[in-house]
Structure 1
Amino acid sequence: MTKNNATDRISHYFPYIVGGTAIVIRFFYLWSFWTNHPFSQKLISDARIFDDWALRIASGDWLGTTEVFILPPLYPYLMAVVYAVFGHAPKLIIGLQAAAGCASAILVYRLGARHFGAYAGLFAGLLFASYGPQLFYEGMLLGTSGAVFLSLIGLTLISGNNKTHWHLGLAGLVFGLATLMRPNILSAIPFLLFGAWWAYHKATPVKRSIRLGGYFLGGLILPLLLCGLRNGLVADDWVLMTAHGGINFYMGNHPDAPGWFSAPPGVDAQITPDGAQGNLEGPRRVAENAIGRSLKASEVSSFWFNKGLAFWIDDPIGAIAVTLRKVRLFASGYEVPLNYNFYYQRKFSALLRFPIAELWILFPLSIVGLIIAARQCDRHAILYLWLIGYAAGVLAFHVSSRYRMPAIPILMIFAGLGIWTLISRVQSQKWKNLCISAAALIILWTGYRIELNAQLAQNNWTMDPFNLGTAYLWANENEPARLYLEEAEKYGQGDAVLYYNLGLAYARTKKMEAAKNAYQQALSQDPDMVRAYVNLGNILFFEEKFHEAINNYREALKRDPNTHNARANMGWAYWSLGKIDEARNAWRQVLQTAPDHPSAKAGIARTR
């Protein structure tokens, strides 16, 4: 048997090795997740939004409210199909995502083997199968792993040999669906079309190339047109996909933009029972206040997009500096958090701490692979262009680990090539080349590790326990809320909202002295937090410290004269002090603008 025949025989088992490894890892990860992980007990942030949305759809609200889609809609609709058949079954959704993750690992192997050989594909598939953030996102009700899966299907279809119109049409459809999970994918489409044309333009007549491109674009546009048609007919706002593109563009394009998700000034970043404040409800309020009228979702998006564009026009040097900051984040080994912090999650699972499949190790291997593959750039153009096009779509907005994920499988493929190249140089005893590659890797690993340590020193460890505590707080589960919020406070990164929520949790668990301290801490960080003045005044009222309570109500009313609860409660404080006229005046002022306010009505009734 020749060496090539032996290699072919062994490589026949590689997809099974990759798939089997992915299955085993996911089995143990989900077992530990469902038995040990707090995020399996409480949905927070985007996961809660998607779950609530899917439940509404499954209950019959298939067209949704009279609003434009506020987030990418495909994922909640897929969830709704499962819920409609099996009931509210989030664990089934997670199981399906894990199965798609296993299939994704095999697709990574297939793509890697197609471009660089079976062994490079094997290493790429194994790296992807054990990559911690992929495992974590598969365990959350988020569309991230679905976008990765669809992207890999599309890349497999478009990069195959002997493409027919069916291959290209299906590839376009898959990328169109993927765009409705991760809109940044749309930016990669022109690059993919160019790459496909470049790879086959010499062997394919021009008319056939145009026809194949038409099939691809037809498949791509179909789901986008359906989404836009729904927005136009239901919401009377002809938006092709979603309504949050403008605010996300502004978040990544203003003078103080850090490069990651950061709510603009005047906008609360958290998700509350009233909605996602950071990129949905808050931006609408700010835009409408600035323009002075109610706005459609597309108008809100345009308002923020124009503000971001103005930054580029007014300060191009500053805009370039912000973009370079985003490039650094995208190409770093740091998993940039967005509502979920991967580094906090690792404390709950040993599999998430698996040291090999970490980006600070994988990126240098990918760089080696990218350099080696560049010798046959024409053959691998699709992979390069996908990375460039998709990265451009992320860098235009802001960077996060979730948004970067569809680029990771291709980086894994180049990392697999890097690993196999090193092994091949050992086997062929090319010591000089091996030493050069090893030295380059050591330098890159050192640089990436230093960069990662610097990022981890600034890592927002408060984020996840804060989100967990807040989710329990809104569910009126106050004891676990207090415990998680106290954990968040221990990291020493708390802001006014954390201390306000901690004050709520303390008050609900009858720890009034601690609640007062928390509200005072919130006010020391944000002296204009009206609700903290009101709640602090309420505690002082029940402690019969009526003068102090009145002072806090006054501070609230200075900042917002329409805080009716503060004025009504101030009336009761005056009443308790025997100042009947002052109490009556306070309640009458409330009823002038809120005639049905129950506390003020009850107070006026007392004075008759």
Structure 2
Amino acid sequence: MHFYDDWARRIVSGQFTDHLAFYGLPGYAYLLAALYKLAGYGPFVPALLQALLDAATAVLIYKISVAIFSGTGMRCAQIAGLVAAGGWAVFVPAQTYAAILMPTAWLVFIFWLILWRIIRQKNAPGRCEALILGLLVGLTATAIATILFLIPLLISAIVLKPAISNHSQFRTRISALVLLFLGAAAGTSPCWVHNCLVAQDRVFLSAHSGINFWIGNNPSANGYPRFPPGLRAGQAAMLQDSIDAAESAAGHSLKRGEVSRYWSAKARAYIERHPAAWLRLLAVKLRTVWSAFQYDDLSIITILREQKVTFPGIYFGLVATLALPMMLLLWNTAPLSRWITAAIVLHLLALLPVFTTERYRLPIVPGLLVFAAFGLITFFNNVVAGKFNSVISYGALLAVSTLFVSWPQSDPSLWALDAYNSGWQALESGDLTLAEKKLQLARAYVPTNPETNFALGNLRLAEGNSAAASAFYLATLQLDNHHRGALNNLGVMALDCGKFDAAENWLRHAEDVDPGNAKIHFLLAKTLLAKDEHELAREEIEIAIRLQPNQIEFQQLKQKIEN
């Protein structure tokens, strides 16, 4: 997506660091930058690599299925593996995230590559393999930190599986554990070395962990990334707002690590003051992870499906429903399946401190497909063989699983998300008819959402209906009187109409909300120049130039004011 693409382009242009701690995991951005440098700018090569990784994940799913279920008969295990791999090929979220510039496909492949290495070997990982696996986990964590939760699984493999060496097994295991941690430390070193030595800030991977912790643990949290008041939607905008809010509360500029600690402290304070509410929130999060409801905060799954970029296929709800019964039934009969169950549980534990989105739970889907496919094959075989006790047991667990996974979401704002994001995307691409349809649907779900009203105002403005646009912007301000976009647009509209006093009023309000926005100071300078207030206009344009010195239009306006 734009966040990583923009970051990679800055790196290619020579801006390797801003000398501040990373505020967003950097691994994927630097990988993209390397690909752009080698193959030229464009999404084709990264997307091709991700498609190949997605195909390789299907191969791993097949191999894991065969390794786990070969004891039940090789033919049955192979059929289950083919069904599971085929399920991954038509799993719509997997198709989506393999096609866009995000690190999800890389994480899923490496996650299951590590699981395959654990499952296929009877012996514990040796010293060399422990070092390599630790390095792989560490490097991947620079792009998606949740993979660090696989370290307990690797520790278990080293400790519980028989060692290869017959001599001094204790020393062999200890050395393998040490090398595992050394590999993880080396893999993550690009982050912590940069943060500690270059930025002089005590941050391990990225300082945005604090705001994620707050989004997942605050009075309005619901298990999904619902942004609290004061934080805009969109990755880059939300991160900047979180910095501005922390610095505003502190009354001075902060290091990125201090910003992270500010938000973490707010989250911990909420947990300490409301322990019962927080425990209920954890239960809600656990349900949202397994829910058939698709919460894609980018709505890219729906957008690509509607544009026929991805093929029709299956979704999380079906896979989870079929998998949960077999996770229980196979615990004793297929001991190797416990490694998959443990990996799924560890990944869920990684999500509980924050929140769930479709891409966050995608890494567990290959394991669920392994269980779901074998369950279907076993069910069919039991029906054919007349083993009706097993059929009834599976059917009863499947009924419970169906009820649990399909439990409905009653919050209308959750249902409005896809419609809003699809509408905004259509508006950005100039498809005003589709934008009207989607944004009106989102507003029907939640008429009091300020962002939806703001988007409809932008739509009316694009249609040339200034009066209707103004009405929607005013409605936005009634719902959120600090909405910078609405204030800014009302100011621009007033300026274009020659209503300079009204324009200054709106832009002054926008300036109060976002004093570090160079564009607002530029617009204020234009307004004040139109009012012949040259000295005030000069002050505003100098602020704008100080904030963004390379903007040519700012320099041109300054010359106009001085002349």
Normalising TM by the smaller chain, what interval? 0.7 to 0.9
CA-CA distance at 1:78 after TM superposition: 2.1
- Per-residue CA deviation, residues 273-326 of structure 1 (Å, 9 max, x unaligned), is xxx121x11111111111122111111111111111111111111111111111
Instruction: Name structure 2 gaps, 5 residues minimum.
Output: 71-76, 545-553
Task: Render the CA deviation track for 1:62-111: whole Å, top value 9, x for unaligned.
Answer: x4332322222222222222211210131121111111111100101111
Asked whether 1:132 is paired with 2:122, we answer: no
Is residue 302–residue 422 contact of structure 2 (8 Å, CA) maintained in 1?
no
Please name the residue that 1:29 is paired with.
none
Aligned partners of 1:559 and 1:66: how far apart in 2?
Answer: 29
The one of 468, 475, 481 equivalent to 1:527 is 481
Tell me which residue corresponds to 2:24: 71
1:411–1:558 Cα change, 3 Å: closer
- The reply on whether 1:228 has 2:182 as its aligned counterpart is no
Q: What is aligned with 2:550?
A: none
For residues 126-275 of structure 1, what are the structure 2 equivalents within 5 Å? 126-159=86-119, 160-162=121-123, 163-200=125-162, 205-270=169-234
The counterpart of 1:85, out of the listed 24, 31, 38, is: 38
Q: Counterparts of 1:48 and 1:315 in 2: how far apart (Å)?
A: 37
2:331 is the counterpart of 1:374: yes
Q: Report 1:137-536 matches (<5 A).
A: 137-159=97-119, 160-162=121-123, 163-200=125-162, 205-270=169-234, 276-278=236-238, 280-349=239-308, 352-354=311-313, 357-376=314-333, 379-451=336-408, 458-469=415-426, 479-480=430-431, 482=432, 485-493=435-443, 495-504=449-458, 506-507=460-461, 510-529=464-483, 531-536=485-490
Judge which range, 369-378 or 496-505, deviates more: 496-505
What pairs with 1:5-154 in structure 2 (closer than 5 Å)? 47-61=1-15, 63-117=16-70, 118=77, 119-154=79-114
1:147 CA drift (Å): 0.3
**Corresponding pairs, count:** 532
CA deviations over 1:226-261 (Å, ceiling 9, x no partner)? 321123333222422112111101110111112111
What do the CA deviations read for 1:357-378 (whole angstroms, capped 9, x no partner)?
3222221221121111211575
Q: Deviations over 1:146-202 (max 9, x none)?
A: 100111111122332234323322222222222222211212322441255234489
The residue that corresponds to 1:22 in the other structure is none
Q: Is the 1:228–1:240 Cα contact (8 Å) retained in structure 2? A: yes
Structure 2 CA distance for partners of 1:455 and 1:427, relative to 1, 3 Å: farther
> Relative to 1, partners in 2 of residues 1:368 and 1:534: Cα closer, same or farther, differing over 3 Å?
closer
CA contact (8 A) 1:157 1:171 kept: no
- Residue of structure 2 equivalent to 1:42: none
For structure 1, the residue ranges without an aligned partner over 5 or more in a row are 1-46, 473-478, 576-582
| Alpha-carbon distance in 2 for matches of 1:73, 1:365 | 36
CA distance in 2, matches of 1:67, 1:408: 36
The change in CA–CA distance for 1:299 and 1:471 in structure 2 (over 3 A counts) is: farther
CA–CA distance in structure 1, aligned partners of residues 101 and 539 of structure 2? 46
Contact 1:182 1:403 in 2 (8 A): no
Instruction: Kindly provide the amino acid, as one letter, of the partner of residue 105 in structure 1.
Output: A
1:136 Cα deviation after fit? 0.6
How far does residue 469 in structure 1 lie from its aligned partner after superposition? 4.9
* Partner SS state of residue 320, structure 2: helix
Contact 2:216–2:224 (Cα < 8 Å) also in 1:
yes
Partner-residue secondary structure (3-state), 1:110: helix
Question: CA separation of 1:565/1:530 partners in 2, compared to 1, >3 Å: closer, same or farther?
Answer: farther
Structure 1 residues 421-430 or 393-402, which shifts more? 421-430
1:524-573 CA-to-partner distances (Å, cap 9, x unmatched) read 332333553453344345445x4xx6356436546756775676566577
CA contact (8 A) 1:106 1:125 kept: yes
- Name whichever of 291-300 and 462-471 sits farther off: 462-471
In angstroms, what is the RMSD of aligned CA positions? 3.3
